[in-house]
Amino acid sequence: MGSLVKCGACGERCGTRPIGTYFRWMRADGVWKHYYARICAGCAASKVLPLERDYAGTERLTCPSCGIDTDDDYDAIYVTYFAGKGPQGDADAPFCNVHAAEYRTWVLGFARDTDNDVGAPGPLRESMSASQTLRALGRDPNVGR
């Protein structure tokens, strides 16, 4: 059975269950940024899975895009993804500066900035606020303070 969800990255309807993917990195000003998107298996295979690799003890880090040595100066992007019933995947990618910027631009093009979910004005988002959660549990958030 297909999925009703369209891939956040390529916009095509996912043939299988979408893969919930979290991206995070530290901005130049030291602020951690977090993004979330549901993407199709194809996009995951081309953009996320290649980032997952282990570096042996003394092996030097290399940029996953161009392969240059980034051991002394990498610009890391961290990805966690949940593919259906499969296990959670994690990737710590030691990009070079150029490809870190390129990857971030790709993520920013479609992923949801989850840092703005709390306390942000505007339309209702997917996640529930604390007061909504309390109401859903049958409790009035204005009572019992």
Choice between 69 and 115, CB closer to Zn ion:
69
Question: Could you tell me the smallest distance in angstroms from the CB atom of residue 136 to Zn ion?
Answer: 32
Q: Does 41 participate in binding Zn ion (rule CB under 5 A)?
A: no
- Quick one: DSSP state of residue 45? I
According to CB under 5 A, which residues from 61 to 120 bind Zn ion?
63, 65-66, 96, 99
Cα atoms found within 13 Å of the Cα of residue 104, Cβ hemisphere only: 21
Residue 11 Rama label (left phi>0; alpha psi -120 to 50; beta):
left
We find the least distance from the C-beta atom of residue 89 to Zn ion, in angstroms, to be 16
CB of 141 to Zn ion, least distance (A): 39
Between residues 26 and 66, which has the closer beta carbon with respect to Zn ion?
66
Among residues 76, 117, 116, which one has the least CA distance to residue 95?
A: 76
CA torsion angle for 127, 12, 52, 23 (degrees, to 10)? -30
What does the binding site for Zn ion look like in residue numbers (CB under 5 A)? Answer: 7, 9-10, 40, 43, 63, 65-66, 96, 99
